[in-house]
């Protein structure tokens, strides 16, 4: 149980285009989902927290107009990187909580974004 999937696992796009990443909780209802970004050899940095049906809460320094987060259902959250640039190239990981009210976060496998 407690499986989180992400799609796509990797994506390459041209500078200026938008990319959407999906995060799904497959066997539980995720009341809260988190989006992280991880640059090579660095730690996971939280970008935003999203609760189903409400606006995401962004961390300081994260542009909400550039990184659009939608948590439309209890099993799906999406992150759209708008007008992507090479500096947005990173490993994006989502996580979800909500299983029986527990604290543990269940992580997706991550999405490798490369912007040319």
Does 11 interact with other proteins (rule: CB under 8 A)? no
Of 17, 18, 29, 42, the one binding other proteins (CB under 8 A) is 42
Shortest gap between Cβ of 16 and other proteins (angstroms)? 27
Q: Binding of other proteins at residue 107 (CB under 8 A)?
A: yes
Token pair recorded at residue 115: 């912007």
Q: Which stretch binds other proteins (CB under 8 A): 13-21, 68-76, 77-85, 106-114?
A: 106-114
- Peptide linkage before 8 cis (omega within 30 of 0): yes
CB 41 within 8 A of CB 90: no
Catalog residues that contact other proteins under the rule CB under 8 A: 31-32, 34, 42-46, 49, 51, 91, 93, 95, 97-98, 101, 103-105, 107-110, 112
């Amino acid at each position: 149980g407690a499986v989180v999937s992400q799609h796509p696992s990797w994506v390459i796009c041209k500078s200026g285009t938008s990319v959407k990443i999906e995060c799904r909780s497959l066997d539980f209802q995720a009341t809260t989902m988190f989006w992280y970004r991880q640059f090579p050899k660095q730690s996971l940095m939280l970008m935003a927290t999203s609760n189903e049906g409400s606006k995401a809460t962004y961390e300081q320094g994260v542009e909400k107009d550039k990184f659009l987060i939608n948590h439309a259902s209890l099993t799906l959250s999406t992150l759209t990187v708008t007008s992507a640039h090479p500096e947005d190239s990173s490993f994006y990981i989502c996580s979800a909580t909500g299983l029986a009210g527990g604290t543990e976060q269940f992580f997706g496998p991550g999405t490798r974004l490369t912007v040319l």
